[in-house]
Amino acid sequence: MPPWKNAVREHYRWIVVAAGGLLGCVAIGALFSLPVLLRPIAQATGWSATGISTAMTLAFVALAAGSMAWGALSDRIGPRAVVFAGTLLIAAGLVAASLAPSLPAFQLCFGGVIGLGAAAVFAPLMACVTGWFDTRRSLAVSLVSAGMGMAPLTMSPLVAWLVRAHDWRVTLQIVASLVVGVMAPLSLLVRRPPALARPAEAAAPHEAGLSVGQAVRSAPFLVLVLTSFLTCATHSGPIFHTVSYAVTCGIPLMAAVSIYSLEGLAGMGGRLVFGLLGDRFGAARTLVVALLAQALVVLGYLYARQLAAFYTVAGLFGFTYAGVMPLFAVIARENFPLRMMGTVIGGTTMASSIGMALGPVLGGLIYDSFSSYAGLFIGAFALGIGATQSAVAFARLPSRGAVGVGTV
């Protein structure tokens, strides 16, 4: 390759990282506008916390259902068209949800449409970024993930500010306009990794004959999927109900949103720190430590009542739960061929989305039944221990470099 082409590639891959971080920030912000709007919607409509939370659960179900399909499509046609389509779906879902005349309609529009759109953004983006980097891969993935973690610091306060000046329906319409205005142009910057233009060169010898079917039946893939599910099942409920829980403890709404924002700020540090530790000590080993820390920290919410205590626990929790996320993409790239990254990361995203779907509705049911969130945090701890044990099992799997061996 001529030197000038190497220089262009070296610089453009960081453009892909920057675009991916901003795309993820706005997409995550649109999806997680619902925790901020939960009480305003309930007060304006009379819908139950469980019913509104179910829309978030449906969003993650739709994200799960679409992740492998969108990921496989991005492997075939490239990530740009897929991410652009996801952008349009997210915006359409926000507008449709804002016009919903009933709770079932709101659940379908917010949950189904936005979730399907988000599925077209997350897995293809992460797969694309891993393909652009042979070195500093963990740093690149961590930066994209950190961009996604900016959503609580930027989009959530924006939504909270908007809903103070407008009703929740107008707020969703404004967010939809922001999605189109920011994400549509950025999606055009996303390009297929150059290595995929030379698949014969990109594949290692032991990968050459590996089919997608063999990969998704392999022990490393199945254990990684299970770990991803348990990881997100651990933190989904506490993330979604942080604002609502703080309000029930007497914290004002804007201050409660600042707790959520602090989680996001701490999460940025966690993504970078754990990602870099994964480069130094191995992503699989680092994942075990991060998951154990996540399980222990979530119990701190049981004792948080004042704003200072909430800030302390939220900072630690955000650092740990966000820190695990870049590791999954790095582990996937270390164990599977680049040509099927969209499918593999789509599979882990599918599992994590199912895990994320549990928290909102279970947290709503627990609170509606007991007028307390204590059961939510105890259950999250138990799931976190399960995630840690699954990660230990993955780290002990033999011959992970040759994923065709040991399929089930």
Q: Establish if 346 belongs to a structural domain.
A: yes
The CA distance from 313 to 110, in Å, is 30
| Domain residue limits at 57 | 3-192+211-395
Q: What are phi and psi of 218, to 5 degrees?
A: -75, 155
Taking only the tens place, the pLDDT of each residue in 210-267 is: 677 777 788 888 889 999 999 999 998 888 888 888 888 888 877 887 887 788 788 8
Q: Establish if 206 belongs to a structural domain.
A: no
Number of compact structural domains in the chain: 1
116: tokens are 């399907």
The CA distance from 199 to 383, in Å, is 40
Q: Are 90 and 122 in contact (CB under 8 A)?
A: no
Residue 65 burial (CB count, 10 A)? 17
The pLDDT of residue 394: 85
Mean pLDDT of 379-400: 85
pTM for the whole thing? 0.74
Name residues whose C-beta falls within 8 Å of residue 221's C-beta, 6 or more positions apart in sequence: 215, 335, 336, 344, 347, 403
The CA distance from 316 to 238, in Å, is 13
Q: Establish if 408 belongs to a structural domain.
A: no
**Higher pLDDT among residues 181 and 216, named by residue:** 181
The pLDDT of residue 201: 42
Q: Establish if 199 belongs to a structural domain.
A: no
Q: Establish if 402 belongs to a structural domain.
A: no
AA letter at 382 = A
Q: Establish if 200 belongs to a structural domain.
A: no
Closest to 307 in 3D by CA, of 250, 354, 358: 250
**β partners of residue 218:** 407
Looking up tokens 């299970």, which residue turns up? 226
**Higher pLDDT among residues 206 and 35, named by residue:** 35
HEC letters along the chain: CCHHHHHHHHHHHHHHHHHHHHHHHHHHHHHCHHHHHHHHHHHHHCCCHHHHHHHHHHHHHHHHHHHHHHHHHHHHHCHHHHHHHHHHHHHHHHHHHHCCCCHHHHHHHHHHHHHHHHHHHHHHHHHHHHHHCCCCHHHHHHHHHHHHHCHHHHHHHHHHHHHHHCCHHHHHHHHHHHHHHHHHHHHCCCCCCHHHHCHHHHCCHHHCCCCHHHHHCEHHHHHHHHHHHHHHHHHHHHHHHHHHHHHHCCCCHHHHHHHHHHHHHHHHHHHHHHHHHHHHHCHHHHHHHHHHHHHHHHHHHHHCCCHHHHHHHHHHHHHHHHHCHHHHHHHHHHHCCHHHHHHHHHHHHHHHHHHHHHHHHHHHHHHHHHCCCHHHHHHHHHHHHHHHHHHHHHHCCCCCCCCCCCEC
The pLDDT of residue 311: 92
Q: Establish if 162 belongs to a structural domain.
A: yes
Taking only the tens place, the pLDDT of each residue in 6-63 is: 555 567 888 988 999 899 899 989 988 888 888 899 888 888 888 888 898 788 888 8
Name residues whose C-beta falls within 8 Å of residue 165's C-beta, 6 or more positions apart in sequence: none
pLDDT range class, residue 183, cuts 50, 70, 90? very high
Closest to 185 in 3D by CA, of 34, 327, 83: 83
* Average pLDDT of the chain, as a whole number: 84
Q: Are 408 and 217 in contact (CB under 8 A)?
A: yes
The pLDDT of residue 8: 56
The CA distance from 359 to 357, in Å, is 6
70: tokens are 């969108």
For residue 250, give the CATH number of its domain: 1.20.1250.20
Whether the per-residue pLDDT at 97 is higher than 70: the answer is: yes
Taking only the tens place, the pLDDT of each residue in 325-379 is: 778 888 888 788 777 888 888 888 888 878 877 877 788 888 888 878 888 999 9
pLDDT range class, residue 389, cuts 50, 70, 90? very high
Q: Establish if 405 belongs to a structural domain.
A: no
Whether the per-residue pLDDT at 4 is higher than 60: the answer is: no
